[in-house]
Each structure stands twice: as C-alpha cells, then as structure tokens.
Structure 1
Amino acid sequence: MVALAGVLAMQPQVILVDEATAGLDPWMRRQVFTIFNRLVVQDVTVMLATHDLEVARHWADLVAVMDAGRVVGAAPAAQVFADPVLRTLIGPVSPWNTDEVANDVCH
C-alpha cells in the first residue's frame, strides 16, 4: 500500500500494477479494489497484470490472455471468459467470488 500511495501522489493518468492483490487477505484486497475503482471514476486507467482469474473476471473491463509471452486474445472480460478457445487456455474459473464468500463467513 505504501508503494501505491507513492504512485498516487504523482497523480498519474495510467497506473500499471503487477499482481496487486497477491498474498493479501480478503479485507485488504477489497481496500485495493476500492482504491482502483475510485481511480477509474476519476478517469485514471488501471492496468493490472494478474494470474488471479477471479480478479480478471470480476473487476476488469478488458482482458488480454497471454500464452508464452504473447497476447492470444483480448476482449471485454465477459467475452474472454465465454470464448471456448480462450477458456481452454485459461483453464477452470471458480463460479464463486471468494472475496464475497470470505466476507459472508467473517460476518
């Protein structure tokens, strides 16, 4: 979060983050995405590299699928996760939003 705060202090128009939620608990993940959502409302582009398919499915507007370092597909998230060829590359995705499940369990 300290690194993110330093970037935000520069008021960028584009932010590129790599695995922003890796290793974070559900509460902290929600905090990160609350910040990202506020940035998007302010017309800041947030580009997120992630292996977390739930994050890509639930948060991203556009998703690029990479295989061996090359983009093999790019489209709105709903299209990417509905495309049978890309789904084969992506692999199975949980039907559950684990952050929502964790929130329900914690409360």
Structure 2
Amino acid sequence: MRAVILTIASTFCLLGCTTPEQKAMQQQAEMDRTMAEYGPACTQLGHAPNSDPWRNCVLQLSAQNGGARGGVSTSIFGSFGSWGRGSGVGIGIGVGR
C-alpha cells in the first residue's frame, strides 16, 4: 500500500515539473501575444516595427495595462501599503487591486 501511495505521489510531483525548455516556450508565447496586442499601437505611434524603441513601447504599454488591471502582490503585509484601501492584514500571495 505504501508503494502505491508513493508511486501516485511521485507521479503528481513529476506532472507539475516543467523543463527549462518548456518555460522558455511559455515565455516566448507570452511575448508573442504581448507583441501582437501592443505592437500595432506602437507602430501607429511612429516606431518602426521590431526596433528597440518599438520593443520598449510594447513593454511600457504592457506594464501600464498590467498595472491598471491589478498585479500580484507578494507582500507579507497584505494590502497595507495601498493608500488606505484594505485592512493590511494577511500573509502570502494575493491579487492586487
């Protein structure tokens, strides 16, 4: 019985692992999505596609939009520093406003 439980637990642990190649593929897919979403706006702003200023524009627009949606807070103080909103109580990772 112990062997069966150990085998099942090991299987679940291995399913949760990702290789560096898989992480790189996920990051590349995310960057491709970001460039497809914000690239046209940066081109309309006058930046040549796939130039350094265009890439900076894409990253800035992505960061601005991500900040407006709310980010992930890794603060151990919860929402304490959010200008009076929230109780400030809580430990762990939470979604910011």
What TM-score comes out, normalization by structure 1 length?
0.28
- Greater percentage in strand: 1
- Greater percentage in helix: 2
What TM-score comes out, normalization by structure 2 length?
0.30
Q: Name the larger-Rg structure.
A: 2
- Greater relative contact order structure (CA < 8 Å, 6+ sep): 1
